[in-house]
């Protein structure tokens, strides 16, 4: 892919961004948008990652999730080594086009987290505690969302 293949039109007016039909992602100062991956079958939130223009364009072109690894500073084809390829069933963009949500069918063993878990959100945060003493606990198993 070349730079011209990954170019998206710049965002227009507020009305165009919020109500128009043009996909004009608003990348942050690091050139990224947040991407939430959700299991297409049961709606479970699997992971939060980031996409730059090239990974977003590759995701749209291939129908498989590509991300930008902030720690490795490189493109990351999710599942290329683990077999946990994320086939994109649907992509949505939020109201101001600075975040995307993808509904995915996960290949391999169905996992998404590098720790070996199905999702990356396996710990809950204690609420109501003082900022310095907040603790984590195992998250309850999510139940499918109802209608």
pLDDT digits (tens, 9 = 90+) for 123-135: 999 888 777 788 8
Name all contacts of 136-141 with Cβ < 8 Å and 24+ positions apart. none
Q: In this predicted model, what pLDDT tens digit does every residue of 29-40 receive, in sequence order?
A: 999 999 999 999
Q: What is the DSSP letter of 96?
A: T
Q: Where are the domains of the chain?
A: 3-118
Query: How many other CB atoms are found less than 10 A from the CB of residue 57?
Result: 18
4 confidence band (pLDDT: 50, 70, 90) = very low
CATH architecture label of 3-118: Roll (3.10)
Residue 49 is predicted with a pLDDT of 97
Indicate the range of 14-23, 64-73, 127-136 predicted with least confidence: 127-136
């Amino acid at each position: 892919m070349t730079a011209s293949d990954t170019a998206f039109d710049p965002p227009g007016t507020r009305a165009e961004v919020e109500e128009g039909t043009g996909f004009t992602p608003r990348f942050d100062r690091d050139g990224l948008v947040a991407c939430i991956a959700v299991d297409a079958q049961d709606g479970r939130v699997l992971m939060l990652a980031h996409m730059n223009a090239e990974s977003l364009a590759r995701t749209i072109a291939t129908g498989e999730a590509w991300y930008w690894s902030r720690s490795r500073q490189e493109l990351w084809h999710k599942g290329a080594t683990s077999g946990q390829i994320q086939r994109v069933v649907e992509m949505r963009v939020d109201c101001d086009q600075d975040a995307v949500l993808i509904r995915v069918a996960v290949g391999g063993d169905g996992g998404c987290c590098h720790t070996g878990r199905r999702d990356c959100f396996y710990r809950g945060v204690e609420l109501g505690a003082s900022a310095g003493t907040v603790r984590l606990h195992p998250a309850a198993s999510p139940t499918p969302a109802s209608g």
